[in-house]
């Protein structure tokens, strides 16, 4: 580079920069050419494939066309109330103006109509729904059985910003406040009171709304009904258990989500699960259950 720069009376540093810039530009042009060749070869291959008889491709195109027509038939738009008349606001047309829509109205629903049968059908077709269940598991004579204790159906769009809480109300909790001062052995008193609890009322709370259904005890027995309309009533008298033959082994929160046009999805989250948390004792529990069954027989 210095030799040629001296012969041409150029600055070697400037000449080197110009050469490097030319090399980078050539590399960039080569990359563009390779990318264009790649893109255009795919386009040419697709054009050749489209022109040749291909039953599978024809079926795929027909299926896509049918799906597109179906999507267009499920057409929604809003209306604006201008005095005594409703004005269409349909943005589907390229030259859309207020008062024009691409089709005629077949079904109309207002927010206040959502609790009617027609509104409910419309809501299910266009909104998410959530069902929350609280399920307990009981082990009795070697067999596991699941029992639903609370079920709450929600439409999430109506509860934006609200908290969903699960509470367990102990039914044998003393009505008077516990004295937790050090002079009265408050910690011992609290521990004793907690260990005396054998029956609970699970309550699901969404915003200001509470729902309760059944109570359950530490043996896994479920007592129902236990509710007062849609409000939890923790002071009501629950029926006494008939037997204490089982063991409470698990409790789960189960959620089922239904989205428009999709299959429902269901999943669980454990509150506690003794058999899952202590798999090393699963065999011993099963043996004890068999002996218990044989003894009771």
Round to whole Å and give the CA distance between 89 and 96: 8
From 6-15, 202-211, 236-245, the region with the lowest mean pLDDT:
236-245
Residue-wise pLDDT for 152-202, tens only, equals: 998 888 888 888 899 999 988 888 887 777 666 778 888 888 888 889 999
Which residues are registered as beta bridge partners of 206? 164, 209
Determine which helix (DSSP H) or strand (DSSP E) holds 212, and give its type and residue range. Answer: strand 209-212
pLDDT at position 151: 92
Determine which helix (DSSP H) or strand (DSSP E) holds 144, and give its type and residue range. Answer: strand 143-154
**Is this structure's pTM higher than 0.75?**
no
Residue-wise pLDDT for 63-120, tens only, equals: 888 888 877 777 778 888 889 888 999 888 788 888 888 877 776 666 665 566 656 6
At 236, is the secondary structure helix, strand, or coil? coil
- Centre a 10 Å sphere on the Cβ of residue 197 and count the other Cβ atoms it contains: 15
Round to whole Å and give the CA distance between 142 and 286: 6
pLDDT at position 80: 86
């Amino acid at each position: 580079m210095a030799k040629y720069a001296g012969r041409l009376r150029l600055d070697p540093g400037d000449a080197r920069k110009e050469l490097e810039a030319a090399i980078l530009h050539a590399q960039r042009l080569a990359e563009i050419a390779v990318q264009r060749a790649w893109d255009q070869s795919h386009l040419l291959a697709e054009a050749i494939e489209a022109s040749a008889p291909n039953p599978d491709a024809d079926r795929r195109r027909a299926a896509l066309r049918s799906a597109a027509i179906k999507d267009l038939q499920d057409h929604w738009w809003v209306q604006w109330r201008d005095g005594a008349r409703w004005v269409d606001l349909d943005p589907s047309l390229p030259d859309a103006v207020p008062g024009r829509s691409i089709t005629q109205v077949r079904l109309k629903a207002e927010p206040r109509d959502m609790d009617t049968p027609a509104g409910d059908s419309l809501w299910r077709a266009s909104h998410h729904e959530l069902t929350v269940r609280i399920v307990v598991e009981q082990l009795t004579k070697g067999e596991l059985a699941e029992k639903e204790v609370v079920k709450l159906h929600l439409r999430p769009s109506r509860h934006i910003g609200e908290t969903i809480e699960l509470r367990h109300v102990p039914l044998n909790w003393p009505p008077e406040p516990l004295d937790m001062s050090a002079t009265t052995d408050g910690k011992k008193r609290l521990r004793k009171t907690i260990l005396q609890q054998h029956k609970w009322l699970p309550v699901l709370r969404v915003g200001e709304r509470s729902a309760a259904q059944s109570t359950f005890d530490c043996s896994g027995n479920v007592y129902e009904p236990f509710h007062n309309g849609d409000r939890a009533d923790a002071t009501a008298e629950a029926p006494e258990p008939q037997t204490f033959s089982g063991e409470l082994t698990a409790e789960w929160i189960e959620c089922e989500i239904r989205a428009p046009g999709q299959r429902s999805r269901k999943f669980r989250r454990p509150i506690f699960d003794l058999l899952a948390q202590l798999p090393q004792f699963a065999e011993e529990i099963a043996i004890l259950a068999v002996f218990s069954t044989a003894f009771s027989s």
